[in-house]
A and B are shown apart, each in its own frame.
Chain A
Amino acid sequence: MHEMGIVTHLAKTLDELAEEQHITRIGSVTLEIGEVSGIMTDLFTDAWDYFKVRHPVLKDSELKLVTDPAVTYCGACGKTYETVKYGRTCPFCGSGETWLLKGNGCVIREIEAETEDMNQE
């Protein structure tokens, strides 16, 4: 259900982008999925396949998923480390005063698209 929600928002964002940039067809969408975003990639792909046929601009598009590694910052010693490997405790100094720097988001990196002016040429 969580994945379906994200895909709904993704499709809406892309529909708006298509209108704004006069895109007629999207060939592929590359998404950066944070390692600790909680998104299940296989469920996400299923949800995408279900949705894309309902959006004319997206119907033949391919979804490319790229993992964005999670990094945590330690406030005590100032170093950064791999979140998934060490969790909340800094492997350098053992402190628990740590913050996730990145790796919990979901960002559209790029799309391949055909635009109206390309068709006219």
Chain B
Amino acid sequence: MKVIELHRSVTESNDRDAQELRRKLKENGTFLINLMSSPGAGKTTLLSRTILDLKDDLNIAVLEADIESAVDAEKIEALGAKAIQVHTDGMCHMDAGMTRTGLMELGIEGTDLAFLENVGNLICPAEYDTGASRSVMILSVPEGDDKPLKYPLMFQKSDALVITKTDTAPYFRFDFEKCKERAKKLNPGIRIFTLSAKTGEGMKEWEDWLKEETAAWKK
């Protein structure tokens, strides 16, 4: 036996897969968003509204990752977007290999904007590069403004934070300024949107950002 010194990250093989997938997506002109949140924050609702609003401008596809069931993919397909359900078989997050397999199965030719709806979990998904162009985190008002303190890595790894369910604000003690300040402290460059997919309030800013980012990715 000989000793081989490595000093390599455990996830090195995933990091390589992620770079390769990002290159492929860039070549194909597909902007992929890795959407992360806790269960019930409103990922599917936000996506549904976004698809309805943007489907005339962009060709959208959705990769739904869940431990089980296909309810989310069925909802998305009913709106007219391409969707596929990926089962992670008990795994708490999506990695680059699983994302690539799902996207290839779905077929991304001609897709401008793809969403990976990651497993509902604020911990593990932040640790794995999925190969997405951008990572976006959703935090809903009922979850509370203290989440940046409890799950700092998620806020550090996200390019944008979407605070959803603003229509419920009167019923909860959610301090928007405090939440934004906490998120910015962890990640000064983070873009923050506040919206309600139910009433439509704040949706335009989020959708304009998606359009701009998608166009920039295609250049």
Contacts and interface: CB of A to CB of B under 8 A. Distances in A.
Secondary structure type dominating chain B contacts: mixed
Contacts of A9: 10-11, 13-14, 95, 128
B124 A5 contact: yes
Contacts of B93: 5
Where chain A touches its partner, the secondary structure class is: mixed
B8 interface: yes
Interface residues of B, number: 23
Is the interface on chain A under 10, 10 to 19, 20 to 34, or 35 or more residues? Answer: 20 to 34
Given A1-B90, A4-B91, A17 B1 contact: no
B2 interface: yes
Contact of A106 (B9, B95, B128): B9
Contact of B3 (A1, A6, A106, A111): A111
B92 A5 contact: yes
Nearest to B8: A108
B7 interface: yes
Given A1-B92, A9-B14, A13-B13, A108 B2 contact: no
Given A4-B90, A113-B4, 7 more contacts: A12-B13, A13-B13, A17-B8, A38-B123, A105-B9, A112-B4, A114-B2
Interface of B: 1-14, 90-93, 95, 123-124, 128, 153
Interface of A: 1-2, 4-6, 8-10, 12-13, 16-17, 21, 27, 31, 38, 104-115, 118
For the complex of A and B, 8 pairs with smallest distance between CB atoms: A13-B13, A1-B92, A112-B1, A106-B10, A12-B13, A10-B10, A110-B5, A108-B6
